[in-house]
């Protein structure tokens, strides 16, 4: 981490209990998927640039207001590498959960037009000095409770505090400065995939799971196919079966997240998507909140709208499950840290980087 961007120290004492979230229950179950913020905020399309005026209402819903301030030239996404935290929020009133069951850190370089995306298993033991021990997906909830109970915050300020603290925690964990955070609920995933007209993936095994309590009905057959929003959510969330198919690990789910991210990237760049930009942005605007200033979102879209799938390294962290935690493989973690840091070098990742992009990326 750069010496000119020190992170504040944290108290050892943290609140572990999840709070009960406001709002209604969403019906798609416990595993959420955050990839949409990366796609919409970063990738965009040519049509979006051509018809930029029509984006403004959705950008106002998604982005943080600029409040009259101008982003300095050297801080703009066109000129400076940036890093983002991408969180998928699981809100279940029946259990009081506010877990971020999908956590990703992504870094982008404007010089090389490349990106690295690292996914974190939800049950990971983060083992961060100065923080109370939680599973990875429980930190956002703990920060939310801290903001409400110890900082006396209310409403949107609680969510903003949890976002900021999660970003600082992951900055410390990965030894980089992370600039922004985006949070999306899983409803947005289904809406955007449907707005895209589906995604093309290869289902790695038969998947069958039914939960009448929340309407879940995952029923997928092994093989290459096009999935709609509900099916794609089932594909990335599938973990266990109650209908005779094989169970799946968190590591396999992380691999599927990377595959779907690549599939969404391909679909966003397809010719038929050009006319769908308004529907896609509207779906995300209704389901995502971020601390990225609106002007910077525009900068990001202008910079990365033509990024290729082959230019994105997907690195799912791996480890060993010993209940109740996943203990991360330190060699894989070191590789991920290096890859994220390389993307933040002004001139971009070295051509002879020891991080093997062929093994780090998910193949089509």
Q: Per-residue pLDDT for the chain (364 aa), expressed as one digit of tens each?
A: 443 434 444 444 333 333 333 333 322 222 223 344 444 444 333 333 333 444 445 555 555 555 556 889 999 999 999 999 988 876 554 444 677 877 889 999 999 999 998 989 889 999 899 999 999 999 999 999 999 999 999 988 999 999 999 999 999 999 999 999 988 776 777 888 888 889 999 999 999 999 887 678 999 999 999 999 999 988 988 888 999 999 988 778 878 877 887 888 777 766 555 556 667 766 666 677 788 888 888 788 778 766 777 888 889 899 998 989 999 999 999 999 999 999 999 999 988 777 755 445 444 3
Rounded Cα distance between 357 and 312, Å, is 9
CB under 8 Å to 189, separation ≥6 — which residues?
32, 33, 34, 35, 36, 88, 229, 232, 233
pLDDT computed for residue 321 by the predictor: 87
Rounded Cα distance between 284 and 57, Å, is 12
pLDDT computed for residue 303 by the predictor: 85
CB under 8 Å to 283, separation ≥6 — which residues?
36, 188, 191, 192, 194, 195
pTM for the model: 0.72
Question: Could you tell me the residue ranges of all domains in the chain?
Answer: 35-357
Cis amide bond preceding 324, omega within 30: yes
* Residue 208, both tokens: 């069958």
30: left (phi over 0), alpha (psi -120 to 50) or beta: alpha
Of residues 330, 190, 336, 319, the one with CA closest to residue 249:
319
pLDDT computed for residue 152 by the predictor: 96
Its CATH architecture, for the domain 35-357, is 3-Layer(aba) Sandwich (3.40)
* Residue 301, both tokens: 């879209």
Q: State the CB neighbour count (10 A cutoff) for residue 171.
A: 19
Give start and end residues of each alpha helix (H) in the chain.
35-38, 46-50, 56-62, 139-149, 156-174, 186-196, 229-237, 250-269, 277-285, 294-304, 330-343, 357-360
């Amino acid at each position: 981490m750069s010496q000119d961007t020190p992170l504040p120290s944290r108290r050892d004492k943290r609140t572990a209990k999840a709070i009960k979230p406001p709002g209604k229950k969403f019906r798609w179950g416990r595993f959420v998927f955050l990839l949409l913020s990366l796609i919409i905020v970063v990738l965009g399309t040519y049509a979006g640039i051509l018809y930029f005026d029509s984006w403004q209402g959705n950008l106002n819903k998604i982005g943080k207001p600029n409040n009259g301030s101008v982003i300095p030239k050297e801080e703009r996404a066109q000129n400076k590498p940036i890093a983002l935290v991408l969180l998928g929020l699981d809100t279940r009133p029946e259990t009081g959960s506010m877990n971020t069951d999908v956590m990703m850190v992504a870094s982008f370089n404007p010089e090389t037009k490349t990106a690295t995306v690292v996914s974190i298993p939800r049950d990971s033991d983060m083992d961060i000095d100065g923080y109370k021990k939680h599973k990875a997906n429980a930190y956002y909830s703990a920060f939310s409770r801290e903001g409400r109970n110890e900082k006396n915050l209310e409403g949107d300020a609680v969510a903003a505090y949890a976002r900021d603290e999660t970003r600082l925690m992951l900055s410390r964990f990965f030894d980089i400065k992370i600039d922004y955070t985006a949070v999306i609920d899983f409803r947005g995933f289904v809406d955007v995939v449907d707005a895209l007209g589906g995604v093309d993936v290869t289902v790695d095994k038969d998947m069958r799971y039914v939960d009448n309590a929340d309407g879940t009905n995952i029923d997928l057959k092994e093989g290459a196919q096009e999935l709609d929003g509900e099916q794609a959510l089932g594909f990335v969330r599938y973990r266990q079966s109650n209908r005779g198919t094989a169970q799946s690990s968190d590591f396999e789910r992380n691999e599927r997240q990377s595959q779907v991210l690549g599939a969404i990237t391909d679909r966003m760049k397809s010719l038929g998507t050009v006319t769908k930009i308004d529907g896609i942005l509207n779906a995300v605007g209704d389901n995502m909140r971020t601390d990225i200033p609106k002007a910077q979102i525009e900068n990001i879209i202008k910079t990365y709208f033509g990024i290729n799938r082959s230019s994105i390294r997907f690195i799912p962290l791996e480890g060993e499950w010993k209940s109740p935690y996943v203990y991360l493989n330190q060699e894989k973690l070191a590789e991920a840290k290096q890859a994220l840091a390389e993307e933040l070098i002004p001139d971009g990742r070295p051509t002879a980087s020891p991080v093997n992009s062929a093994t780090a990326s998910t193949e089509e």
